[in-house]
């Protein structure tokens, strides 16, 4: 009998616990224990496989680090990509420039048609859900989420304006950053005035 993959072991655990909200820690521990029965080294990043199963629509994310398998609700999500025509329409609408920094093909940057609401959260491949990002900000959005990237961008712009004595831009950034604070958006990112 062939060894089971990490994903197969994860699903074996979830199949045994249907409709339960399961923290990823015990799942990872069980998968690691099963894996070590047939392998010498522990599995690499089982939690990533859990997240991938969620992105495929097999597991439901209840909250950070907690997932559920509902046999009645399992569906294969169609992760839509923009068509070449949709990408061109998005790029044209955004003047072939990153909506965050303004970089684009005109100055040698690769641009991407990005889903504002990510595909794995149900975002559709529709022009209205698209935006142009340079490769740098597309990467940052994937890693920081959009609001974190935005707050960091305005903090950076504020600091730059402060160093140049540009009071108008400083006031603009202050207004935006105060809105972040007012609504407690990304409070973990500190803005030093």
Q: How far apart are CA 171 and CA 159, in angstroms?
A: 12
Give 7-35 as a DSSP string.
Answer: HHHHHHHHHHSTT--EEHHHHHHHHHHHH
Confidence class for position 101, pLDDT limits 50, 70, 90: confident
Specify if 77 maps to a domain: no
Per-residue pLDDT of 115-142, as tens digits, reads 887 776 777 889 998 999 988 888 777 6
Question: Do 138 and 153 fall into the same domain?
Answer: no
CATH code of 19's domain: 1.10.10
Task: Note whether residue 193 is domain-resident.
Answer: no
On whether both 102 and 129 belong to a single domain, the answer is yes
Q: What is the dihedral of CA 137, 143, 144, 145, to 10 degrees?
A: 80
What the block records as the tokens of 191 is: 């803005």
Highest mean pLDDT range out of 1-15, 80-94, 97-111, 137-151? 80-94
pLDDT at 84 over 60: yes
The pLDDT assigned to 74 comes to 65
Q: Are residues 157 and 119 in the same domain?
A: no
**189 lies in some domain:** no
Boundary (domain end) residue, out of 37, 68, 99: 68
74 SS3 class: coil
- The pLDDT value given to residue 138: 82
pLDDT top residue among 174 and 120: 174
Inter-residue contact 72 to 112 (CB < 8 Å): no
- In a shared domain, residues 42 and 30: yes
The pLDDT assigned to 76 comes to 45
Tokens standing for residue 162: 């402060």
Question: Is there a domain that residue 161 lies in?
Answer: yes
**Among 65, 52, 148, residue whose Cα is nearest residue 100:** 148
Q: How far apart are CA 155 and CA 159, in angstroms?
A: 6
Distance CA 118, CA 120 (A): 5
Task: Say yes or no to pLDDT of 170 above 90.
Answer: yes
Query: How many residues are present in the chain?
Result: 193
Query: Each residue of 31-44: pLDDT tens digit?
Result: 999 999 988 898 88
Whether 139 maps to a domain, the answer reads: yes
Strand ranges, E, within the chain: 22-23, 60-63, 66-68, 111-115, 130-134
Domain that residue 21 falls in: 6-68
In a domain, 188, yes or no: no
> Is residue 190 assigned to a domain?
no
pLDDT higher at 127 or 57: 127
Mean pLDDT along residues 58-80: 77
Q: How many domains does the chain have?
A: 3
Classify residue 98 as exposed, middle or buried by CB count within 10 Å of its CB (0-12, 13-18, 19+). Answer: buried
Residues 6+ apart with CB under 8 A from 192: none
């Amino acid at each position: 009998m062939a060894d089971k993959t990490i994903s197969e072991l994860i699903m074996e655990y979830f199949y045994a616990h249907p409709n339960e909200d399961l923290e990823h820690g015990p799942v990872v521990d069980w998968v690691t224990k099963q894996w070590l029965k047939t392998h010498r080294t522990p599995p690499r990043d089982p939690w990533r496989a859990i997240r991938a199963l969620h992105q495929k629509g097999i597991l439901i994310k209840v909250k950070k680090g907690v997932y559920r398998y509902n046999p009645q609700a399992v569906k294969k999500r169609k992760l839509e990509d923009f068509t070449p025509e949709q990408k061109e329409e998005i790029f044209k609408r955004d003047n072939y420039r990153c909506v965050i920094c303004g970089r684009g093909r005109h100055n040698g940057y690769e641009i991407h048609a990005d889903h504002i609401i990510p595909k794995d959260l149900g975002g559709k491949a529709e022009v209205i859900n698209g935006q142009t990002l340079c490769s740098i900000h597309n990467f940052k959005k994937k890693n920081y989420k959009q609001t974190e990237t935005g707050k960091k961008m305005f903090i950076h712009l504020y600091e730059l304006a402060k160093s140049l004595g540009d009071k108008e831009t400083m006031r603009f950034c202050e207004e935006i950053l105060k809105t972040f604070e007012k609504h407690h958006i990304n409070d973990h990112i500190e803005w030093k005035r």
